[in-house]
Structures are given as C-alpha cells and as structure tokens.
A and B are shown apart, each in its own frame.
Chain A
Amino acid sequence: MVEEILSPEFIAGFLAASLRIASPLLLATVGEIFAERSGILNLGIEGEMLTGAFVGFAITYFTGNIWLGIFAAIFAGALYGTLMAFMSVSLGTNQVLNGLAITLLGSGLGFFLFRIIFGVRTVLPYVGGFKTIDIPILSQVPIIGEAVFKQYSLVYLALILVPISHFVLFKTTTGLRIRATGENPKAVDTLGINVIKIRYACTIFGAALAGLSGAFLSLVQFRTFLSEMSAGRGFIAIALVIFSNWSPIRAFGGAFLFGAAEALQLRLQAIGFAIPYQFALMVPYALTLLVLIAVAKKVAGPAALGIHYRRG
C-alpha cells in the first residue's frame, strides 16, 4: 500500500484532484473576501451557489453551450448579490438574517425549479461537461505538469483569480477604498467616496463568484444537479475567509488544504482503506471546526464587518 501511495501517478493524480476540489471553494472564498472587506457579511453564498449550480446546469443542458451556462450562473449569483446588497446596504436590515434568508431561498428555488423543469427522474440528466486543457510544454513536466497544467479551464480561472484579487485588494486605490470601507465607512464617506456603491459592487461581485462556484460543481465536478450538492460548501467558504485572515493568497492555502483532505479521503477509500464512508464524509466539516479553533484569537476581521452604515 505504501508503494502505491508514493508512486508518481498517485501523487500527480492526488494533487490534480486536490486542485479540482479546491477550486469551487476558492472561487466562493475569494468572492466572500471582497464582500467582507467592504463590510458586508454575506451568509447567502450557500444559496447563491446552489442557484448557480442549477442555472448553469439547466442552461447548458438546453443550449448545449457550457459557457452560456457559466455566464447564466454568474448572472444568477449577481442577482442574489443585488438583493443581498439592497437589504443590507439600502434597507440596513440584519445581515445575518438577510444572508440566511437568501440561503434558504436559493436552496429552495434551485431544487423547486429543477423539479418543475426536469420532473421526478429515476435516471438523472447529465451534461457533457468540460474537457481538460493541456498547457503546452508545462504539461510535460513530471508530476507537476500532470497535476497543475492538465486542468479544466475553470480551475485555471480560479487559480489566476488569486494573485489578481490579491493585487487589486492590496496594491490599487480601488482595493484601498474597499478595505477602508470595511474598516471605517464614515472616514471614507467624509473623503467623498461612495460607501454604498463600493458595498453594492463588492457584494454583487462576491455573489457572482459564488454563482460561478456553484456552476463549477454542476458542470465540472458532478455534471448533473443534486439538491444537496453544495452541502455546506458556502459556509465552509465563509470559515475559510476567517482562516485566511481575509487574504486571497492565504485563502488559496486553506482551500487547497480542504481539497487535499477530500482527495486523500477519496483515494484512500478507492485503494481499500477501511473506514466507514460517513466518517470520511465528515472530514471537511470537522476540519472546518479545527481550523477555526486553530486560528481563533489570531485573526481579526474588518472593523465595520456586518455593521450597517447610515449617513449623518
């Protein structure tokens, strides 16, 4: 068994699967970092993911165009983000409850629409899904090439998003304004910068990424739609935001840790490691609690996170 685990094929396959499983988490986490950096705690991403998963799947199923499905999922996520922003920024209602309502609505609506459109089926409808793209030359590198450079386009997108969002948040004026809005909206407002606009934009951007993350699940990972397919990933992403200390680079580390744990669990089961599958399935949730305990008191979120800003 040890030789099996240490073989180059096993390691390459394991790393590739880790990245693939980490990607939807990474998309949702980076999106939520933007929302929270601007001061909005969006607990609705679980519902946004499930709706994105459904919309992406249905549009792809009926048009045969997977990119159309992806854009529809992003748009659906953004719509929920607009609702979240309207409730939280314009009406100033409790962000925790707004987010929970959107999670319940998104989860319910995704499943309801699926049942209406596809009915009750014994055989699930499937879509063709993506093909992997080999990056020339780099994909020939042993192990790393197999693991990183023979991936799906959405995995590349998730990976590229990390340095870009890090750059935007920490090296640009826009990023400075976003972070300042989450720390001290009154000061930002005094400088004549529009707090409301920034919070709307960040919430909608985050929700759009959550929608994309859902489409990743239904179009890449499962290639079908299941009512429970997001399975708390939206909330794991919120935990990863805390774990990452609101930084996209560290979010990559956290998401990869989760991807690796799940990939390892799947592989160990495949080669006949005998643990009840329910305990294997518990891993991401137990791991979430453990990482939160590990970083407790060592991280601090934006000062104005979750607090409504009222002018004057």
Chain B
Amino acid sequence: MKLDVKLERRATPHPLMALLYPALAIILGLLIGAFFIVAAGADPIKAYEGLVYGAFGDIYYITETLIKTAPLLFASLGITVAFRCQVWNIGAEGQLYAGALAATWLGLSLVNIPALPHLFLMIFIGFLAGAIFGSISGVLKAKLHINEIISTIMLNYIILYFVSYILHGPWKDPVTLWPESRPIAPTAIFPVLMAGTRLHAGVLLAFICVPLIHVFLNKSVLGYRIKAVGTNPAAARFGGVSVAKSVILAMVISGGLAGLAGMNEVCGIQYRLRTDISPGYGYTAIIVAMLGKLHPVGVMLASVFFAALINGADLMYRVTGIPVALVSVLQGIVLLSVIGCEVLSNYRVKVIKGG
C-alpha cells in the first residue's frame, strides 16, 4: 500500500493555526536572527539575553519600552484601518512628521493658555495634520487611480526634506548647534505619569485608541463600509457604498493616527521638533500591523513586541556589539514569516492511501 501526502486547500483557515502563526513567525524570525548573530561572531543566547533585559529588565527599561510602544501603536492602528480597506498606506512615517510639525507649530505659537486646553488642541492638530497629509494620497487614489504606495512613499521623502529645511532655517533654535526647533511651551507637554521615568500621558492615549479603533471598525457604519470596500469593492459598490469616499476616509483616519504618533513624540519625549524624532516607526508599524493580523488587540501586542526589540537592541549592542541594524533584518524576516505562515493555516495535510 502506498501513502501519499498532499496539501489540500481549506475553505476557511484552521482556527488554531490562524491564532498561532504570528507566534510561529516570531520564533522563526528570532531563529534566523540567531544565525546572523553567530555569523557576526557573537553568542546568540547572550545577545538575546541582553535584548530581553534591555526591554524588560527593570522598571526603567519597562517604561522605556512602553514609551516606544506608543508611537508604534498609534501608527500601526492607523495602518490597520487603511489595510482593512486594501489601501496600502506606506506613508505613516511622513504622516507622523506632519503631525509633529503641526504640533510643534502650535506648541511654539500658543502661549498663555492653560495646560489642559492646550494639550487637547495639540492632540487635535496632530491628528488633523496627519489626516490632511494622508488624504492627499487618498484623493489621488480615489479620483485619479494613482497608486497609493508610490504617492505615500514620495510624500514621506518630501516632508522629511521639508522638516530638515525648516529646522536648518526658519525654525532653528539659535541657542543650540543642532537642527532642532526651540522648546515648545510647558503647557503643551504631556504630564509624566511616574516619577524618575519618562512615562507620559501620551502612552495612555495610545492604549485608549485600541478599543476606540476596535469599536470604529466593528460597530460603526463607516468602519463597516471601510471593511466592505477592503473585502470586495465591487460588492460594496453594488451595495451602495461609495468606494472613493471609503478610500479617502481610510487614509484620513490612517494619516490622523500616524499624526498622533508624531505629536506624541513632540509633546511627550522631545518637547521640540528634531529631524530624528522617528527611527522609522512609520515603516516598522507596517510589520506591527501585519503581525497583529490587522486586529487592534493583536496590533497592541505586536507594538509592545517591536518596541521591546527596538529598545532591547541598544543594550544588545552595548553587550555584544551586534549592530542595532539587526532589528531591521528581523523586521523583514518576521514579515516574510508572517506572510508565509499565513499560507500554512490555509492548507491541511492530507494522507491518501493508495493501492
């Protein structure tokens, strides 16, 4: 008797595998990462120990990880909304800087106003700036069918050079030597939540966005339309949903959330605008969103994981000399593994008995 093993496509993904594959992807990523660490001549166990300690080793490291979770969480929730609509927003990095730019402007120009209204205005303008910047690509896609991947990436470069220009020129702090703005007003700064750390109220705001986006996507009409367009645009159109409006709305919300990430860095960490307020949060957020399976809760967990990676990589570098760039390699591998593992959950292994 001959046994034949075949992969057979499932009608619906295996429920347990669908839940487990992000974990599998992380393990695969770390294993391949270990290979690179060995290739670099270091001990992978030691390197990963340093990485974990640098991320969660004591209360200070934990708060630092949470601080880096916030911008990732804002941006990746935004990407989740866009990707659910099958709008490939790669522009979170630029939208983040748009939010930071507007927040800095308001933080510099508005003085003599109590802290609470000032902070609310900062949050509002951060969202608004990111939303407007994101809507450019949304309108170009909806009205002219211009590929949003290309337009968002081009806008990323354009705004980064604009920020560089404004910080070397008109907004440059005359006191310091660096390309950075003057400090924003004290009333525009997020209060610190825990003495002796940098944990600030913006982190709380990021976590509050998780249930908000969850409710928006699952309980609101607009969220339903966005998902309908993402699942099947032809059917959505037939059902009376305006595809163009949903695409633009997805980009507005997506950009707005990324704008909050930029505002958050200005009001919570830097207290001024710098050219390097984001070490690529907007790009990492794409992987975070995918690893979190485009579900707000999953995205939250994935944000903590990647914040830990970014944070822990610093200590890993100091302990073992492994370049921080390993994180970018891991990001690429994890994304590839997530995509690959997702395929696995769509198939079942079938053993066929033959004569």
Contact = CB atoms under 8 A, between A and B. Distances in A.
A105 B168 contact: no
B85 to A, nearest CB: 13
Contacts of A49: none
A92 B342 CA distance: 11
Contact of B335 (A97, A238, A242): A97
A63 interface: no
Contacts of B111: none
Given A93-B343, A276-B169, A278-B161, A288 B154 contact: yes
Given A87-B340, A278-B162, A109 B332 contact: yes
B110 interface: no
Interface stretch (B220-228, B231-239, B322-330): B322-330
Contacts of A282: 157-158, 161-162
B328 A112 contact: yes
A87 B157 contact: no
B165 interface: yes
Contacts of A281: 161
A232 B154 contact: yes
Contacts of B164: 278
Interface residues of B, number: 45
Contact of B286 (A100, A108, A235): A100
Interface string A21-64: 00000000000000000000001000100000000000000000
Contact of B147 (A91, A108, A292): A292
Interface stretch (B46-54, B95-103, B138-146, B193-201): B138-146
Nearest to B334: A101
B16 to A, nearest CB: 20
A231 to B, nearest CB: 7
B187 interface: no
A100 B335 contact: yes
Interface in A272-312: 276, 278-279, 281-282, 285-286, 288-289, 292-293, 296-297
Given A276-B165, A288-B154, A97 B328 contact: no
A247 interface: no
Interface string A111-133: 11001100000000000000000
A235 B145 contact: no
B21 interface: no
B30 interface: no
A285 B154 contact: yes
Nearest to A86: B340
A22 B145 CA distance: 26
A282 B158 CA distance: 5
A97 B339 contact: yes
Contacts of A227: 325
B149 A43 contact: yes
A292 B155 CA distance: 13
A98 interface: yes
A198 interface: no
A185 interface: no
Given A111-B325, A112-B36, A297-B144, A235 B339 contact: no
Contacts of A111: 323, 325, 328
B153 interface: yes
A43 B286 CA distance: 14
A102 interface: yes
Given A278-B162, A292-B151, A87 B336 contact: yes
B266 interface: no
| Residue of B157, B168, B169 most packed against chain A (CB within 10 A) | B157
Interface string B162-179: 101100110000000000
Contacts of B147: 238-239, 242, 292
A107 B328 contact: yes
B283 interface: yes
A184 B146 CA distance: 23
Nearest to A43: B149
Nearest to B151: A289
B40 A108 contact: no
B312 to A, nearest CB: 16
Interface string A209-248: 0000000000000000001000110011011001000000
Interface string B254-291: 00000000000000000000000000000100110010
Contact of B331 (A43, A104, A235, A239): A104
| Residue of A43, A94, A100, A296 most packed against chain B (CB within 10 A) | A100
Nearest to A83: B336
6 contacts: A96-B88, A232-B156, A242-B150, A278-B168, A292-B151, A296-B140
Given A104-B332, A278-B162, 12 more contacts: A93-B342, A98-B336, A111-B328, A116-B40, A231-B157, A232-B156, A242-B150, A276-B168, A278-B168, A292-B146, A292-B150, A296-B140
